[in-house]
Amino acid sequence: MAREQDILRLPPPKRLPRLTSRRIGNHTSIAGGVENAAERAYRLGCNTFQIFSTSPRQWQPYELSPNQCAQMSRLREKYDLKPLVIHVNYLINLASTTPLFLDKSIEAFRGEVERALGLCADYLVLHPGSFRGTSREEGLARVAASITLADRKYRRGGIFTGRHFRAGGRIARSPARHCTRRRLH
């Protein structure tokens, strides 16, 4: 994030942003620490927000400390920021037909679930991926099995799947089938 564009470089607002009864938010940067996203959302006048819990284009995960999770929860409570939505890494492809890539995707998704639970996130957003070379039904079955494997450890459930509707072996065919959701808690 360009430092001159970061709202955290500005003084905090002297009065609370005027909020509506509707939840309005944005995708907020975690630069400088995941907990900073809550402060950024508040200063931008949001009452909900979405983050990446780690770099969206790298396999190496960002490790969260208990202190960061506690700080995020404190700021969310203080500013009434809810729900917290986490968008999973773009590299994850739970429909992959390549066994090594699928295993890596399941492990990365499991890490996303762990970070979401640590941050008390309400939702995860997942683009399940490409099922190239197989049928849509086989791709969906592979995604369901992959989510089950990744989520088996927790049994608290809660995956929000944003399905691609572009060409090229993506999961959904139309915007009408865009999303399925289940609460994390």
**For 103-155, what is each residue's pLDDT tens digit?**
999 999 999 999 999 999 999 999 888 999 999 999 999 999 999 888 776 55
Over pLDDT 70: what percentage of the chain? Answer: 78
Residue among 54, 47, 144, 39 at smallest CA distance from 91: 54
Give the Cα separation of 91 and 106 in Å (integer): 11
More confident residue, 156 or 173: 156
> What is the residue-averaged pLDDT of the chain?
81
The per-residue pLDDT for 21 is 77
pLDDT digits (tens, 9 = 90+) for 62-96: 889 999 999 999 999 999 999 999 999 999 999 99
pTM reported for the whole predicted model? 0.77
Terminal C-alpha separation, the chain: 31
| pLDDT above 70 (res 25) | yes
Question: What pLDDT was estimated at residue 2?
Answer: 52
Question: In a 3-state reduction of DSSP, which class is residue 125?
Answer: strand
The residue extents of the domains of the chain are 21-91+110-128+157-180
Cα–Cα distance, 41 to 28 (Å, whole number)? 6
Q: Which fold has domain 21-91+110-128+157-180?
A: TIM Barrel (3.20.20)
Mean pLDDT over 40-53 rounds to 93
**Lowest-pLDDT choice from 19-33, 137-151, 152-166:** 152-166
